[in-house]
Amino acid sequence: MKSLHTSFALGDIALPNRIVMAPMTRSRVSGNGALGALNASYYAQRASAGLIISEAMVVAPEGRGYLFTPGLHTEEQIDGCKIVVNAVHDAGGIIIAQLWHVGRVAHSSVLPNGSAPLGPTSDPVEDLYVFGLDDAGRPGKVHVTPPRAMTDAEIERVVQQFSAAAANARRAGFDGVEILAANGYLFDQFLNGVVNRREGRYGGSSVTTRCALVLETVEAIRAAVGDSFVLGVRLSPFGNFNKIPDDPATSETFLYLASKLAGRTDYVHFNDEPVSIGHLNQSSVENAGEDAAVRGFKRMIPDEFLNDFRRFYPGTVIACGGLTGETAQSMLDNGAADLFAFGVPFIANPDLPARLRDDLPLADPRTEFFYGGGEEGYSDYPAYAPPVADAVESIDREAPQVLAAARSLIDSFSRHDVQAYFDGFSSDATFMFYYVDKPLLSRSEYRDEWSEWERKDGFRVLECRSENQHVQLLDGGHAIFMHDVETDVQYQGEQSTRLERETIVFKRDRAGWIAVHEHLSLHPKEAAA
């Protein structure tokens, strides 16, 4: 029997389970739009998801809609994405970049030179607020600026911007990309025949022209990244988020789109709720504290439409919106979807797959920290902590695993098996050695130092002996290993023996325990001598 916790093949990628972390804007990015170490920690903590879809990242400055959101169109932003991707991969996770252009849903304060937002037409949007700068330059809720109708050339430029951003995502190491064509943003505006009152190649009068922007973007991205790179599209038919009106042609539009996306994309991702909780948004923050917003809304997409869509689109379908473990399993059982995305539940439950699998209680998020700020309410939520009696059993089970990981490191070091030794550390592991005058801030930095010792000084480990081994388990999936180590080395043509005390910090990931920090000091006996 299929379950949420069975593996699934998405394109060429084997997902360990069917639970997806939905894209969520959290507004914790600096003014340059580059992700960083804080974001890397947040995503890596949630790497037990079968798949992570990143928060939306704008493809160009004119596609931005909110303060403190990331982009994927500069070298600095690509470098920031690499930090996040490496952290997720080191934790055993899989992550896809969501690509974004907000269209008319923006305020001029966040756009280049205070320009107007771009949209299918110049029709203003009433009573819609976004996160921008007020007249005094203070961050806060501001009413969207009336849009300017795009020219065909500007629409074609958007296609190329998405294509370039997808190529940037591949350079950064992402496992795929998702086009955000949902939630009332640019692509959704073109798909909606009521909003899209323009004429011509991208006009709203026919299903083919309404869908042209999405389909041209899919083709351009495929040409840029190839067939093996995962490509998905997020849609929200029947949704009204960001003032998207009801459209009598919704079924016609999206079933036509289904037939054209078949064979061109790896998946379609449905966001099925009137207020986008799967994709957290500044406009919904005032509702986010209500139980309905945290727990989900009634479904908007009719079952009949989903059944029809799957007839036209045989690829993978991701469902999102107000799901519980039970409702997701029911949808899997009846064939409505293949993968299931959870948004808000992942905020306070970084270990959500384990909690769903083991029927553990879910923590509630602190809604006042949904947007903006630092670690608080973002990367400080712990994994589930069992009651004391269960914790003792957990210690009895996990301490030997940490010890085995440590002994594997010691063994590879003793054999001077350099590759195996360094494979035991995460890429962002840090190192402090008493004989090196500065910390080494990555595995590659340590590897370079090691190579220099070998090249210049003929360094080689001959044998090491470990005793007084101790393991201490910490909260948040970390553990400390300490021991005394006596090492015979060859250095500058001479053999010598060093007596040292070593502390290694391990972090639990999907594959087991991996070292993330090593501290080496002289043994007190040596220091006293």
* Strand, helix or coil for residue 431: strand
The Cα-based distances of 185 to 34, 85, 409 in angstroms read 21, 26, 50
Residue 255 per-residue DSSP state: H
**Length of the chain, please?**
529
**Which residue in the list 42, 43, 66, 185 is annotated as catalytic?**
185
Give CA–CA dist 481/254, Å, rounded.
55
Contacts of 197 (CB under 8 A, 6+ apart): 120, 121, 123, 203, 204
Positive or negative: CA dihedral 399, 91, 235, 285: positive
Q: What's phi and psi for 431, nearest 5 deg?
A: -140, 140
185 catalytic per annotation:
yes
According to DSSP, the β-strands at 425-433 and 339-342 are unpaired
Residues 53 and 339 sit within 8 Å (Cβ to Cβ): no
Give CA–CA dist 4/17, Å, rounded.
6
Give CA–CA dist 359/496, Å, rounded.
55
Contacts of 172 (CB under 8 A, 6+ apart): 72, 78, 81, 82, 85, 97
Residues 278 and 341 sit within 8 Å (Cβ to Cβ): yes
* Strand, helix or coil for residue 311: helix
Contacts of 385 (CB under 8 A, 6+ apart): 391, 475
Q: What's phi and psi for 528, nearest 5 deg?
A: -65, -35
The dihedral over CA atoms of 12, 14, 18, 19, expressed in degrees to the nearest 10, equals -100
Residue 350, both tokens: 């970084």
Residues 529 and 423 sit within 8 Å (Cβ to Cβ): no
**b/e code 215-252 from CB counts within 10 Å (16+ = b):** bbbbebbbebbeeebbbbbbbbbbbebbbbeebebbbe
Give CA–CA dist 518/425, Å, rounded.
9
Encoded amino acid at 318, one letter: I
Q: Is 385 exposed, middle or buried (0-12, 13-18, 19+ CB in 10 A)?
A: exposed
* Strand, helix or coil for residue 52: strand
Active site residues: 185
